[in-house]
C-alpha cells in the first residue's frame, strides 16, 4: 500500500499497536525478501495438494505476507520456523487458527481471496479478512442465518446495499478469526471502534479494489508491503 486507508498518510505503529497489510498475490510473490523456501515442510505439503494454480498462489502469498508482518512486528527473521496452526475443535495441528510458537502474547491472522491477500500481527487477539470490492457475500436471507439480523437489515436498507453487506461480512469474519462471536456494531467508512475487548477497523483499498477488516485487542495500523 502507499499509505493508510483511502491514501491517507501511513501512521507509525507503536509497541501496543497491531500491524495489518493488504496486497495482491503478484505483489507478494514478487517481493525480494519472500520465497516459498521460507515455508515449513507441513505448509509446503499443503500447497502440493492444491490443484488450482491461482488458489495455490493465493495461499502461498498469504503465508509469506504473514511472515513478513511477523518479522516487522517482532524482529524475528522471516525464516524463523515459529508459525504453526492448531484447530480448536479437533485439537489437530496443521490447520485451524495460526499462532506463533513460544509467543502466546502475540496474535497472528491471514486471509486470501481471488488474487488478494492480507495479514495481521499484534499483541493479543487479532483477526483479518479481505475480499474483492466487487464481491457480494450472498442473498440477504442467507446472511441473516449467519450474521446478526439487525446488522443485516441495516446494511440491506442502505442506499448502496451491496458494498454495505460486503463490509458487514468482512467485519464479521475478522471478529470470528480474532475469537469473538456476537454483535458487530456500526462504524463509519474506514472507522475504528471498540467492540467489547476488540477494536474493529474496516477500510477500502481502492488501488487493489479490495475491502478489508481487522479486529484486534489493540489499535490497528495499516502498513505498506
pLDDT digit string, tens, across residues 175-219: 999 987 554 444 333 444 444 578 999 999 999 999 999 999 999
pLDDT, residue 91, reads 58
User: Where does the pLDDT of residue 108 fall: very low under 50, low under 70, confident under 90, or very high at 90 and above?
Assistant: very high
Terminal CA-CA length for the chain = 6
The pLDDT value given to residue 13: 47
- Stronger pLDDT, 56 or 99, i.e. the higher one: 56
**Residue 79 corresponds to which cell in the numbers above?**
525464516
Residue 38 has pLDDT above 90, yes or no: yes
pLDDT of residue 21: 97
Which pLDDT score is estimated for 57? Answer: 98
pLDDT at 112 over 60: yes
Question: pLDDT at residue 102 above 90?
Answer: no
CA angle 203, 162, 65 (to 5 degrees): 35
Specify whether the CB–CB gap between 167 and 156 falls below 8 A.
no
Average pLDDT over residues 48-52: 95
Residue with cell 439480523: 149
Cell output for 14 = 507503536
Mean pLDDT of 90-113: 80
Q: Compute φ and ψ for 217, nearest 5 degrees.
A: -75, -10
Answer for the pair 200, 213: CB distance below 8 angstroms, yes or no: yes
Is the pLDDT at 70 greater than 50? The verdict is yes
* Cα–Cα separations (whole angstroms), residue 146 to 2, 139, 150, 182, 197: 34, 11, 12, 11, 22
| pLDDT of 10 strictly over 50 | no
pLDDT at 84 over 90: no
Give the C-alpha separation, 188 to 190, whole Å.
6
Tell how far CA 216 is from the center of its chain: 11
pTM of the model: 0.83
Query: Is the model's pLDDT at 140 over the cut of 70?
Result: yes
Q: What is the pLDDT of residue 63?
A: 95
Mean confidence (pLDDT) of the chain:
83
**Which contacts qualify for 191-198: CB closer than 8 Å, 24 or more apart?**
192/219, 192/220, 197/125, 198/125
Amino acid at each position: 500500500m502507499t499509505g493508510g486507508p483511502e491514501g491517507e498518510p501511513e501512521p507509525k505503529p507503536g509497541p501496543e499497536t497491531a500491524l495489518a497489510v493488504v496486497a495482491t498475490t503478484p505483489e507478494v510473490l514478487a517481493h525480494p525478501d519472500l520465497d516459498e523456501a521460507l515455508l515449513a515442510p507441513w505448509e509446503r505439503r499443503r500447497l502440493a495438494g492444491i490443484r488450482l494454480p491461482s488458489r495455490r498462489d493465493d495461499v502461498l502469498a498469504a503465508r509469506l505476507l504473514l511472515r513478513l508482518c511477523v518479522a516487522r512486528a517482532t524482529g524475528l527473521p522471516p525464516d524463523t520456523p515459529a508459525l504453526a496452526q492448531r484447530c480448536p475443535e479437533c485439537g489437530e495441528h496443521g490447520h485451524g487458527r495460526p499462532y506463533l510458537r513460544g509467543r502466546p502474547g502475540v496474535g497472528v491472522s491471514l486471509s486470501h481471496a481471488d488474487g488478494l491477500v492480507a495479514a495481521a500481527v499484534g499483541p493479543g487477539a487479532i483477526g483479518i479478512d479481505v475480499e474483492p470490492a466487487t464481491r457480494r457475500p450472498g442473498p440477504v436471507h442467507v446472511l441473516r442465518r449467519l450474521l446478526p439480523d439487525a446488522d443485516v437489515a441495516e446494511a440491506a436498507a442502505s442506499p448502496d446495499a451491496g458494498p454495505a453487506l460486503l463490509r458487514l461480512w468482512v467485519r464479521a469474519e475478522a471478529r470470528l478469526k480474532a475469537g469473538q462471536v456476537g454483535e458487530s456494531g456500526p462504524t463509519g467508512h474506514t472507522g475504528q471502534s471498540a467492540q467489547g475487548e476488540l477494536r474493529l477497523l474496516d477500510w477500502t483499498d481502492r488501488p487493489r479494489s479490495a475491502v478489508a477488516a481487522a479486529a484486534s485487542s489493540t489499535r490497528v495500523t495499516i502498513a505498506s508491503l
